[in-house]
Structure 1
Amino acid sequence: MKNSKASAPAKAAVPQNQLGEFLRAKRDQLRPEDVGLPPGFRRRAPGLRREEVATLCQISPTWYTWIEQGRTQAVSTDTLGAIAAGLHLSQAERAYLFELAARADPEQPAVVDSAPHLAKLVQAVRTPAYILDRHWDAIAWNRPAALLFEDWLRAPARGGRNLLRYVFLHPQAPAFIVNWPERAQRLVAEYRSDTAAWRDDPVRQALVDELRSASRAFDSAWKSQKVLSREGGLRAFEQARSGRRDYEQFTLRVAQHPDLKLTVLVPGELA
């Protein structure tokens, strides 16, 4: 007699060691002659041996084996850089390697060189738009954004154009940002998530220490350990001259610089 209950669909297997699988795939794709090694004889599998990759990366074979087998999570940025060079990874592959290892690449392309192009991008947007770097400093914005965020973008205080410094340290921010307590707490949770890969960055640590010391609201939100993704949604601001302004916020990543965020605010009547 057949079972009348429908069988549950089988769950697809989820790779548990994506970093190791990526390294193994790249190792298999390389031939000894591609990296200046003699071809040798009696290779039972295509590609390079682990010992050969370790030699190219100037790390111990045991350590490389542990990394590939997923037996350690403590892979330094120096080791990742050496592996990227040893395996002849492209820039995109190197970025993917660091992402899999949850580390920030210290040799990522400089943002400063792209600032003129990014400025052209935000100037082409008709509604308020701005770009934040990985420390949440505004590096480009258009005129509508400057008119809306006058205290932050047009006339920055001592803290410069850092979004968190503005939200937590500028005296006018709580009155300007509608529902400031909730929005401020969410920003801290988003910042923690957004900069997790930069947790060892001294600039990040200095900013967090500064804000924790200067703002009890930031300190409390930071201690809560909440983590949220930086998403869009409804935003509202109370301007002294024109009253309340409602927007829908969209946050996008810049492809060439994934640590940069493009934020566009679409007025409520257009959203």
Structure 2
Amino acid sequence: MATPNSFRCVSDRFGVGKATAWRSIRRVTNALYSLRHTFIKWPSTEEARVTMSKIRTKYGFPKVVGAIDGTHIQISAPKEKPDAYINRKGFHSLQLQAICDQDLKLFHVYCGEVGSVHDMRVFRLSNITDMLNDDNFPDNSHILGDAAYEIHKHVMVPFRDNGHLTEEQINFNTILSSSRMIIERCFGLLKGRLRSILDKLPMTRTDLIPKYVIACCILHNICIDRNDIFENIFILINNERRENYLHNNRNNDSKSEGIAKRNAIMHLLSHQ
């Protein structure tokens, strides 16, 4: 998982057959995946408050429990419906959606949607939509997303730049963007340490790849728990976002609450 080398290269280095190497990797992947709820879990109220305090102190944005974003895991063209896997950057991929805290530890991951699916649709297909409630967000807290996501009481996103933003709105967007960079750094650390998912993943079974990617996320969290972080392995991940996504209004109440909350935070940030 930590090297982009092929199975053939790994098999040659360890003196085993390619099939043996593949079976070994599958066993370890399955073992890690079975522990996913132990190592990737939603923060407790106390843990959420610690993250809120750290982000408020470092960036100034209040009541943030984490940041959400998506990244593409490049794969070879699948045999079935390969066009569906082509993302906006022009290569075949599966998507990984993740939320991390200030320490770059992942507490929610979702993987497996094809590369052509928009971030907001991935968001709705994941079970994170069922977790947007006051029980999971103490003290009226929220996660931060970019403009690809829809505003919600517990999801703060920037004001859309229509060329006529006020100084207060620009200030809000700037502070949100700085605070949200924790998820970009998280992806950089994840792919810098586990480089098999940095470039093209040498796997063809699209039904097994999501489990493999989540196993990588588990190892990432284990390393953070062990304080095993090296700044020189961060990789710059370029995640360009499309903003022209048509949001629906299935939950107008939460959207209205989110807009009111964003305006209140905007005024707070402009006066601090």
Per the shorter chain, which TM-score range?
under 0.3
Instruction: Tell me: higher relative CO, structure 1 or 2? Use CA pairs within 8 A at least 6 residues apart.
Output: 2
TM-score (norm 2): 0.26
TM-score (norm 1): 0.26
